[in-house]
Copies of this chain bind each other. A is one copy, B any other.
Amino acid sequence: MTEAATDTKQMIMSAARLMVQARGFNGLSFRELAKEVGVKSASIHYHFPTKGDLGAALARRYTEDAVLYFDGLLAVSDDPAAHIRGYTEVFRSALVNNNRMCLCGIMAAEHDDLPVEVRAEVDKFTKVNVKWLVKVLSRQQPAAQAQAQAQAQAQAQAQAIERHALAIFAAVEGAQLVARGRGDIAVFDQTIEAYRTAGLLP
Contact = CB atoms under 8 A, between A and B. Distances in A.
Interface of A: 22-24, 26-27, 99, 101, 105-106, 108-113, 122-123, 126, 163-164, 166-167, 169-175, 177-182, 187, 190-191, 193-195, 198-200
Nearest to A106: B109
Nearest to A123: B181
Q: Is the interface of A mostly helix, strand, loop or mixed?
A: helix
A169 B123 CA distance: 23
A113 B100 CA distance: 12
Contacts of A175: 167, 170-171, 174
27 contacts: A22-B112, A23-B110, A24-B109, A26-B110, A26-B113, A27-B113, A99-B112, A106-B109, A108-B178, A109-B109, A109-B177, A111-B181, A123-B181, A163-B190, A163-B194, A164-B194, A166-B190, A167-B191, A167-B195, A170-B175, A171-B174, A173-B174, A177-B177, A195-B200, A198-B198, A199-B200, A200-B200
Nearest to A168: B194
Contacts of A174: 169-175, 177
Given A112-B23, A195-B200, A178 B187 contact: no
Contact of A177 (B164, B170, B182): B170
A163 B175 CA distance: 11
A187 B113 CA distance: 21
A21 B50 CA distance: 26
Contact of A108 (B122, B170, B180, B190): B180
